[in-house]
Amino acid sequence: MGSEAENVLTLDTLNPNVIKLQYAVRGPIVTRATEIENEINAGVKKPFSRVVKANIGDCHATGQKPITFIRQVLALCTYPELLKTQEFPDDAKERAARILDDCKGKSIGSYTDSCGLNVVRQDVANFIADRDGYPSNATDIVLCTGASDGIKSVMMLLLTGQDGPDSAGFMIPIPQYPLYSAAICEFGASAIPYYLNEKNNWSLDVSELERAIAEAKPNCKPRAIVVINPGNPTGAVLTRENIVEVIKFAHRHKLFLMADEVYQHNIWAEGVEFVSFKQVLQEMGAPYNKMELASFMSASKGYMGECGYRGGYAEVINLEPNVRAHFYKCISAKLCPPVSGQAVIDCIVNPPKPGQPSHDTYMREKAEVLAKLKLKAKFVTGLFNSIEGISCNEVMGAMYAFPRIYLPDKAVQAAKAAGQTPDSFYCFALLEETGICTVPGSGFREEPGTYHFRTTILPQIDELKAVLNKFTEFHLNFLAKYK
């Protein structure tokens, strides 16, 4: 066997960006959670019978049922012989046949165009036009392997190919979804963090944007601003006025707009609505409606929760034609996104119409999923705010709560002695004592001196209540232990 010194890759020769890269929602706490599951399966006694993974927005893993129409269309696309049977409604058959007709060889096993099937791209454009009240062009739509793939493809365009003061700077909200910091690290770019205002429902203050970009300019070249709306991990929903302010800020500093809108169906708070960046951009008129904007959507969230099919799209508008050609060239190197994921996206953006056989079932299933999530959002917000040493802004949208925990000094010192951040120390203790797996706020970055954790609101309501009762007991014992 060769020694480590004979390997091409060692820790000394590995890409340093890979070593720096972190992805908290699947980080060390999740690794430990999997180890605990294996220990339980091997007969090791624990104070709990199973691990509850509240670390990631995986809807079906927590018991949410698939939407019938989506799965019927997927079954028909996967095995077209089923089109000859009487087991499926006519509209599901028609949809599957339409998708298959656009596939080479009438098979979803064939490659599609790199940007995706033309019929799906057109349906996405129609969906956006109906949603916003402004035209959308299928040529601006790129289907992708989940929203994350589309996000990284757009970020690639903005890189400068330089390090240090000439590196591309991406403004990202803090707290942020770790995809952004991970991609920035992978690409050797620079993060420009701007803090959301926790005291005002995680709102976005332009004065904070100005502070962040002014501090960053000597160290990088600011190229884009990322906005996550509804927010992950915060659950906040931006107002129309806030979006206008962001657009004006981006125009003032000549920044590319990146709008992560994958939770647009997940709105829970009364009097709150989702408004897309595209719609506001168009409403504002010239010169703002000529700004470059990429907005992203996913099949993994919303009411559908089809994470495993990896369906997503990006609408990228106002690119120069020659830049668009290079964008398509980069996408072509990936061949194409999963065709089954493209089919899922088509069902989402073009659901059954009134009068069609699947319409009533589709609408009922969609409403049931969203109603349960709304109930859980209110329940989680209320419970966290009833516990000593915790505060939590209203879960206005998305699928997560991001409560702040007020840790005793002795707990902070114990964390330092253990070589951990205080919220990681807390979350590890929570996992070991209760089997509840969450993500520490430091994994999303947070304002210095504050401590948080993110938990999903996805478990079924009875399980969620039991889990949070167990959490409450742990938290109060933790405070008593370190007071």
**What are the pLDDT digits (tens) for 120-137?**
999 999 999 999 999 999
Segment 58-115, tens digit of pLDDT: 888 888 899 999 999 999 999 999 999 999 999 999 999 999 999 999 999 998 988 9
pLDDT at 102: 94
Question: What phi, psi does 107 have (nearest 5°)?
Answer: -140, 135
* Residue pointed to by tokens 């056989």: 357
Omega into 230 within 30° of 0, i.e. cis? Answer: yes
What CATH number has the domain spanning 111-349? 3.40.640.10
* Residue pointed to by tokens 């979804």: 177
Instruction: Give the C-alpha distances (Å, rounded to integers) separating 476 from 388, 389, 463, 469, 481.
Output: 7, 8, 20, 11, 9
Cα separation, 374 vs 301, whole angstroms: 14
pLDDT at 1: 44
Instruction: Report the chain's terminal Cα–Cα distance, integer Å.
Output: 53
Handedness of CA 332, 337, 342, 345 (dihedral sign): negative
Q: Does residue 316 surpass a pLDDT of 90? A: yes
Cα separation, 230 vs 57, whole angstroms: 14
Percentage of residues of the chain with pLDDT beyond 70: 96
Segment 216-233, tens digit of pLDDT: 999 999 999 999 999 998
The answer to whether 144 and 314 are in contact (CB under 8 A) is yes
The answer to whether 394 and 236 are in contact (CB under 8 A) is no
List of residues 6+ apart from 465 with CB closer than 8 A: 379
Which tokens hold the place of 370? Answer: 């969203």
Segment 6-43, tens digit of pLDDT: 887 677 767 676 666 665 555 688 888 889 889 998 98
Which tokens hold the place of 13? Answer: 């020769």
The pTM (predicted TM-score) of the whole model is 0.88
Helix, strand, coil percentages for the chain (3-state, nearest 5): 50, 15, 35
CATH class of residue range 4-63+364-482: alpha beta
Total length of the chain: 483
CB atoms closer than 10 angstroms to residue 12: 8
Q: Does residue 355 surpass a pLDDT of 50? A: yes
Three-state DSSP string of 93-145: HHHHHHHHHCCHHHCCCCCCCCCCCHHHHHHHHHHHHHHHCCCCCHHHEEEEE
Query: Contacts for 207-210 with beta carbons within 8 Å, 24 or more apart?
Result: 209/171, 209/246, 209/249, 210/249
For residue 53, the SS3 value is strand
In sequence order, the β-bridge partners of residue 455 are 401
Axis-axis angle for helices 146-158, 321-332 (nearest 10): 130
Per-domain residue ranges of the chain = 4-63+364-482, 68-107, 111-349
Segment 249-280, tens digit of pLDDT: 999 999 999 999 999 999 999 999 999 999 99
CB atoms closer than 10 angstroms to residue 5: 7
Listing from the earlier edge strand, what are the strands of the sheet with 141-145?
141-145, 311-317, 293-298, 256-260, 221-228, 168-174, 190-195
Mean pLDDT of 412-420: 91
Q: How confident is the prediction for the chain on average, in pLDDT?
A: 90
- H or E element at residue 368: helix 359-385
CATH class of residue range 68-107: mainly alpha
pLDDT at 397: 92
